[in-house]
Structure 1
Amino acid sequence: MASSNSASSTTATPSQQSSVDKDPLWKHVTKLVKMKERGGNMKIKCNFYNLEFTGSYSRVKAHLLQIKGEGVSVCPRVTTNILLQLRREMADVEERKRQVVIPLPPLSYALLDSAWGGAEMLPKQGSKRRAVDKNSPINKAFNQEGLPFHFARNPHYIKSYTLAANNNIPSYVPPCYNALRTTLLEKERAHIERLLEPIKTTWKEKGVTIVSDGWTDIQRRPLINFMVVTKNGPMFLKAVNCEGEYKDKFYISSLIKEVIMQVGPQNVVQVITDNAPVCKAAGMLIETMYSHIFWTPCVVHTLNLALKNICAAKNSSLMRMYMLSVTGLQRLETKH
Structure 2
Amino acid sequence: MGRTPADIRSHVKVTGSNTWECKYCKGIFTGSASRIKAHLLGLRGGGIGKCHSVPQQITEDLTAKLQLSQGVGSMQVSEDCLETLEMLPNAGESSSAPSKRARTDSVSSSGASANVATPSSRAQPPSNSGPIPRNLPESNVFMRSSMKASMQKQAMDQAKKEIGRLFILCGIPFNVANTTAWKRAMRAVSRIGTPWEGPSGRVLRTSELTKQKLAVETEMLSLRATWEKYGCSILCDGWSDMRKRSVYNIMVSSCKGTMFLRAIPAHAPGTVVTGEFIFSHVKKAIEDVGSRNVIQVVTDNGSNCVAMGRMLEEEYPKITWTPCASHSLDLLMEDIGSLPWVENILSKAKFIVKFVTSRPKVQNIFRSHSDLELQKPAFTRFCYIFIVLDRVLRVRKGLLRTVVAEEWYQIPEARDGDPLFMRFSSLVMGEDAFWSKAEVLIAALQPVYSVLRITDMEGSTLGLVYEYVSRIQGCIADVSGLSDTERHDLCEAVRRRWDWFHKPIHAVAHILHPLWRSEAQDTDVTLEDSWIEYLGRWTEGDMELYSQLQKERLQFRSMERYFGQPTARLRENQVSPITWWEIYGIGTPLLRKLALQILSQDCSTGPAERNWSTWALFHTKKRNRLSPQQLEKLVYTHCNLKLLESKGTHIAPLQVNVDSIDISKVKDIPRIPPEEKDIFSMLFRESQLFVRQTRRGTRGNTTDAPSTSRRPRKMASRRGGRARGRRGGRTIRPDPETSLPEDWEHRSASSSSDDDDDSLADIERVMGLHSDSGSTSSWASSFDEDVGIDDIVDEESEP
Superposition TM-score, scaled by structure 2 size: 0.23
CA deviation string 1:11-37 (max 9, x = no partner): xxxxxxxxxxxxxxxxxxxxxx95522
Aligned match for 2:317, one of 270, 291, 301: 291
Contact 1:226/1:236 (8 A) holds in 2: yes
Q: RMSD between aligned alpha carbons?
A: 4.3
Give the Cα separation in 2 of the matches to 1:283 and 1:269. 13
The residue aligned with 1:55 is 30
The residue aligned with 2:480 is 327
C-alpha change, 1:274 and 1:317, in structure 2 (3 Å) is closer
Aligned match for 2:16, one of 32, 38, 42: 38
Deviation, structure 1 residue 289: 0.3
2:304 is aligned with 1:268: no
Task: Give the match's secondary structure for 1:210.
Answer: strand
Give the Cα separation in 1 of the matches to 2:334 and 2:303. 17
Give the Cα separation in 1 of the matches to 2:188 and 2:194. 12
Give the Cα separation in 2 of the matches to 1:287 and 1:220. 32
Task: Give the match's secondary structure for 2:229.
Answer: helix
C-alpha change, 1:298 and 1:37, in structure 2 (3 Å) is same
Count of residues in Structure 1 that have an aligned counterpart in Structure 2: 213
**If you compute each CA radius of gyration, which structure gives the higher value, 1 or 2?**
2
Give the Cα separation in 2 of the matches to 1:328 and 1:274. 35
C-alpha change, 1:180 and 1:151, in structure 2 (3 Å) is closer
The residue aligned with 2:331 is 305
* Residue identity in the other structure for 2:253: V
Give the Cα separation in 1 of the matches to 2:77 and 2:257. 25
2:243 is aligned with 1:219: yes
Structure with the higher strand share, 1 or 2 = 1
Deviation, structure 1 residue 216: 1.7
Task: Give the match's secondary structure for 1:38.
Answer: coil
* Residue identity in the other structure for 1:105: Q
Give the Cα separation in 1 of the matches to 2:77 and 2:235. 34
Aligned match for 1:174, one of 191, 199, 206: 199
The residue aligned with 2:122 is 103
Unaligned 5+ runs, structure 2 = 1-10, 39-44, 49-75, 79-111, 126-169, 346-436, 442-476, 484-799
Deviation, structure 1 residue 210: 0.6
Contact 2:15/2:21 (8 A) holds in 1: no
For residues 9-88 of structure 1, what are the structure 2 equivalents within 5 Å? 34-38=12-16, 41=19, 54-56=29-31
Task: Give the match's secondary structure for 1:169.
Answer: coil
C-alpha change, 1:161 and 1:262, in structure 2 (3 Å) is farther
CA deviation string 1:58-117 (max 9, x = no partner): 9xx9x99xxxxxxxxxxxxxxxxxxxxxxxxxxx999x95666652539xxxxxxxxxxx
Deviation, structure 1 residue 169: 2.3
Give the Cα separation in 2 of the matches to 1:43 and 1:299. 62
2:190 is aligned with 1:164: yes
Aligned match for 1:204, one of 228, 250, 259: 228
Task: Give the match's secondary structure for 1:213.
Answer: strand
2:257 is aligned with 1:233: yes
Contact 1:269/1:294 (8 A) holds in 2: yes
Deviation, structure 1 residue 260: 0.9
Give the Cα separation in 1 of the matches to 2:171 and 2:216. 24
Task: Give the match's secondary structure for 2:193.
Answer: coil
* Residue identity in the other structure for 2:480: T
Deviation, structure 1 residue 288: 0.4
Task: Give the match's secondary structure for 2:244.
Answer: coil
CA deviation string 1:245-296 (max 9, x = no partner): 2111111111111111111222211111111122122111101001111111
| Percent identity between the two aligned chains | 27
Task: Give the match's secondary structure for 1:229.
Answer: strand
Deviation, structure 1 residue 237: 0.4
Superposition TM-score, scaled by structure 1 size: 0.51
C-alpha change, 1:167 and 1:297, in structure 2 (3 Å) is same
Task: Give the match's secondary structure for 1:303.
Answer: helix
C-alpha change, 1:225 and 1:315, in structure 2 (3 Å) is farther
CA deviation string 1:145-204 (max 9, x = no partner): xxxx9949xxx989967753432225x663352x33332221111111111111112222
Q: Which has the higher contact order (CA 8 A, sep 6+)?
A: 2
Give the Cα separation in 1 of the matches to 2:293 and 2:171. 40
The residue aligned with 2:651 is none
Contact 2:301/2:324 (8 A) holds in 1: yes
C-alpha change, 1:241 and 1:301, in structure 2 (3 Å) is same
Deviation, structure 1 residue 224: 0.6
C-alpha change, 1:192 and 1:323, in structure 2 (3 Å) is same
The residue aligned with 1:192 is 216
* Residue identity in the other structure for 1:290: Y
